[in-house]
Amino acid sequence: MSRDLIRPRSLRLSRRGLLAGLGVSAAALPLSACSFDTGSPAALNILEKAEAVTKAVQRALLGPETAMAREFEPGAISAFFKPNGSTDPEDADYVALRKGGFADWRLEVGGLVERPMKLSLSDLRALPARSQITRHDCVEGWSCIGQWKGVQLSSILTTAGLKPQARYIALFCADTLEQTLDNTGRYYETIGLIDAFHPQTILAYEMNYAPLKVEHGAPLRLRVERQLGYKMAKYIMRIEAIDDFAKISRGRGGFWEDRGYEWYAGI
């Protein structure tokens, strides 16, 4: 190689090559350096475009809206199911309901529906139920398998009757996961109608053949089996059909969505 270096032509080429190479490396290097803000609004604006692509491709792959998440045998149920997020809400209203064994708890169904409803736990238990043993995938990377039983969200929505403007279902929860001055730390979620009407989307009051425990969202939590755990709101108090989630809390469609996570949590 040393002989190459004394040839003017190859030196010229090499220098150009080296500079170009350094240029490419320089483009990648600042990613690790603090000089470049990897979370700047400009960067996020571009990065967030990937979510729409992922959503469009996954929706296309799922084809018929009823592609089902895998269901497992009872033997596959995890001995330990990790509780995450809120595990023991301290909100006064919730604590009072919990003390009463959720006898006074009512699920409110409202918003853009023809027939608003209030349902007690026994009302829900009296409705046709679906039981499923599915895998829960946390955005953090871990998975656990559990059995869930509850009412299909589709049947509640059909009974309530969606108004034509309804595009999303919002779930408002009892737990405050982050203390804030403006109450934006209260957990909530929104899902689209495709997921809301999916057969495996249920409002679960039972887990592993027992009443849902507080750490897993008692008295009622959502299961949306083709998305990540944070979409599956726990401690549900109120369901609303809405046309837009921009005016709810910080406007991005959910507690974690407001904190930078994807609204479409299919991956």
Pattern 21-40, another protein, x by CB under 8 A: x--x--xx--xx-x---xx-
Please tell me whether residue 226 binds another protein under the rule CB under 8 A: yes
Q: How far apart are CA 225 and CA 134, in angstroms?
A: 7
Q: Which of 155, 208, 48, 58 is nearest to 218 (CA)?
A: 208
Q: List the one residue from 82, 125, 130, 250 that touches another protein (CB under 8 A).
A: 82
Instruction: List the alpha helices (DSSP H) in 6-130.
Output: 8-28, 41-47, 49-62, 92-99, 121-126
Q: How far apart are CA 22 and CA 16, in angstroms?
A: 10
Strands (E), 78-231: 107-111, 117-119, 130-137, 143-152, 168-176, 186-192, 202-207, 210-211, 221-223
Region of residue 67 (left: phi > 0; alpha: psi -120 to 50; beta: else): beta
Please tell me whether residue 56 binds another protein under the rule CB under 8 A: no
Q: Quick check: 187 and 205 in contact, CB under 8 A?
A: no
Q: How far apart are CA 30 and CA 173, in angstroms?
A: 41
Q: How far apart are CA 26 and CA 22, in angstroms?
A: 6
Q: List the one residue from 93, 140, 178, 244 that touches another protein (CB under 8 A).
A: 140
Please tell me whether residue 42 binds another protein under the rule CB under 8 A: no
**Residue 122 Cβ, how far from another protein at the closest point, in Å?**
32
Q: Is 201 helix (H, G, I), strand (E, B) or coil?
A: coil
Please tell me whether residue 184 binds another protein under the rule CB under 8 A: no
Please tell me whether residue 7 binds another protein under the rule CB under 8 A: yes
Please tell me whether residue 261 binds another protein under the rule CB under 8 A: yes
Region of residue 86 (left: phi > 0; alpha: psi -120 to 50; beta: else): beta
Q: Which of 92, 87, 85, 138 is nearest to 255 (CA)?
A: 85
Q: List the one residue from 117, 127, 129, 138 that touches another protein (CB under 8 A).
A: 138
Please tell me whether residue 251 binds another protein under the rule CB under 8 A: no
Please tell me whether residue 50 binds another protein under the rule CB under 8 A: yes
**Residue 56 Cβ, how far from another protein at the closest point, in Å?**
11
**Residue 177 Cβ, how far from another protein at the closest point, in Å?**
15
Please tell me whether residue 177 binds another protein under the rule CB under 8 A: no
Please tell me whether residue 143 binds another protein under the rule CB under 8 A: yes
Please tell me whether residue 144 binds another protein under the rule CB under 8 A: yes
- Stretch of 56-64, 154-162, 183-191, 214-222 contacting another protein, by CB under 8 A: 56-64
**Residue 57 Cβ, how far from another protein at the closest point, in Å?**
9
List residues binding another protein (CB under 8 A).
Answer: 1, 3-5, 7, 10, 13-14, 16-18, 20-21, 24, 27-28, 31-32, 34, 38-39, 44, 46-51, 53-54, 58, 61-63, 67-70, 72, 76, 78, 80, 82, 135, 137-145, 225-228, 256, 259-262, 266-267
